Amino acid sequence: MTTWQSFLEKNRERYIEELFEFVRIPSVSAMKVHIPDVKRAGEWVVSRLESAGIEHVELMPTGGHPVVYGDWLHAGEDQPTILIYGHFDVQPPDPLDLWESPPFEPVMKNGRIYGRGASDDKGGMLTPIIAVEALLNTEGKLPVNVKFCFEGQEEIGSPQIPDFLEKHKEKFAADLVLSSDGLLWSADVPMMLTGLKGLASFEIHVTGPEQDLHSGLGGVVQNPLEALSRLIATMRHDDGQIAIEGFYDDVRDLTEEERHQFSESPYDEEAHKTQLGIKEFFGEPGFTNRERNWARPTLDINGMWGGYQGDGTKTVIPSKAYAKFTCRLVVDQHPDKIVELVRQHVAKHTPVGVTAVVVSSNDKGMPYLIPSDHPANNIVGQVLTEVFGTEPHFARVGGSIPITDSFRASLGAWTFNFGWTVMDENLHAPNEFVRVRNFERGQRAYCMILHRFKKE
């Protein structure tokens, strides 16, 4: 009997050719002119899933760019159901003149395939399809039940996906999610991504005099921009700790084990400074930079404005001042509670002579931390270690991945990072590429992990 290993080996050239074919479809979700191409890419995925042996494949409408569903559910009720996620839309190719070869005419150079979407996420999402094809062709069945959810709107923020998943939660029901839209630590080192941050967002609006005043009338008037500045200054202690009462109350403290895991992942302080374009770090005292970014909540002003912004001088005392804020939250903080604490802080610290209101926003998300005792942690870690020949580094990210939030909210399933993209592969930039060796490691990794999830 042929093994999936030799099947993959035998079909290498065809799979590379398929990735080329997939990349040639300019499925740019952000551009109206490419709406039919996004659909065409979805149709390509439908037929590719079908030719791999996946059943019930369909292109599902969402109100925006479509989703492709498919499943293979013959492993038995006692076996887990794994949902595999990816996306077939890509970023716009601009600026075109910086591409060394046309973005939708893929080329192979030095073991890399260049083209828009080669890495993010067409290369990524092709690997589980190839894997199930190899398993079905060599073993006649899959070790576990498998469903696919491939979307066409990831690069524009998946506007319809939360509602879509909520509506179809039974169809997509699964025990866990593997995301092919995922990252490696570096070209040959895998990564276990265990935590994402939540988000709270709000604005503060300060009103001073009812109308803009000539500053010649001043000396007796609280200036709303200054009042807002003073209010902002009360929100953090000089040492970097957020000073909003109760802000840290619900934060789950890092365990010694987590702090140890964090410290094991390589870190280069100077490279980090260069990446951020800063000369000095500034953050919450008592924590490493990594802990601050991965596991401590933050408060940031995203925008602030009021009064005159043009050239020269305008001697005005403005009537209004505004600031936009976001907080990145960690377990077990809740965005609604954070906004309420801000409201209380502002009520208590508003300077005399102005009014300040906190306006909450619907842009919010729950923090996300895969439980450390989740059984899949070990399985994912072992497969990555075997495929890459080295243990994965643990990581969290300071940002949020909305789809992960939706899978958790609608399906009750945790999402595991199981993709093959490296940060240096020019995602969202000219000359995007994927490393062929990782495209092929990915195929093997999916074959292996489906076997490991099988319950004996």
Q: Which of 398, 402, 430, 431 binds a copy of itself (CB under 8 A)?
A: 398
CB of 39 to a copy of itself, least distance (A): 27
166 φ, ψ (degrees, to nearest 5):
-65, -40
Q: Which is nearer to a copy of itself, 108 or 156 (CB)?
A: 156
Is 296 near a copy of itself (CB under 8 A)?
Answer: yes
Is 424 near a copy of itself (CB under 8 A)?
Answer: no
Scan residues 335-354 and list those touching a copy of itself (CB under 8 A). Answer: 351-353
CB of 7 to a copy of itself, least distance (A): 39
Q: Which stretch binds a copy of itself (CB under 8 A): 4-12, 52-60, 247-255, 284-292?
A: 284-292
Is 157 near a copy of itself (CB under 8 A)?
Answer: no
CA distance 263 to 257: 10
Q: Which is nearer to a copy of itself, 64 or 209 (CB)?
A: 209
Is 211 near a copy of itself (CB under 8 A)?
Answer: yes
Q: Which of 125, 176, 184 has its CA nearest to residue 392?
A: 184
Q: Name the helix (H) or strand (E) containing 396.
A: strand 393-396
Is 199 near a copy of itself (CB under 8 A)?
Answer: yes
Is 306 near a copy of itself (CB under 8 A)?
Answer: yes
Is 292 near a copy of itself (CB under 8 A)?
Answer: yes
CB of 13 to a copy of itself, least distance (A): 38
Residue 150, SS3? strand
Is 312 near a copy of itself (CB under 8 A)?
Answer: yes
Is 42 near a copy of itself (CB under 8 A)?
Answer: no
Sequential DSSP letters for 37-104: HHHHHHHHHHHHHHHHT-EEEEEE--SSS-EEEEEE--S-TTS-EEEEEEE--B----SGGG-SS-TT
Q: Which is nearer to a copy of itself, 116 or 292 (CB)?
A: 292
CA 7 to each of CA 15, 79, 141, 366: distance values in angstroms, whole numbers, following the listed order? 11, 25, 15, 42
Sequential DSSP letters for 402-416: HHHHHIIIII--EEE
Q: Which of 60, 316, 358, 379 binds a copy of itself (CB under 8 A)?
A: 316
Is 399 near a copy of itself (CB under 8 A)?
Answer: yes
Q: Which is nearer to a copy of itself, 140 or 219 (CB)?
A: 219
Q: Which stretch binds a copy of itself (CB under 8 A): 26-34, 88-96, 209-217, 418-426?
A: 209-217
Q: Which of 220, 222, 192 has its CA nearest to residue 206?
A: 222
Interface characters, 244-273, with a copy of itself (x: CB under 8 A):
----------------------------x-
Q: Calculate the dihedral angle through the C-alpha atoms of 71, 72, 78, 80, rounding to the nearest 10 degrees.
A: -50
CA distance 295 to 195: 8
313 φ, ψ (degrees, to nearest 5):
-115, 135
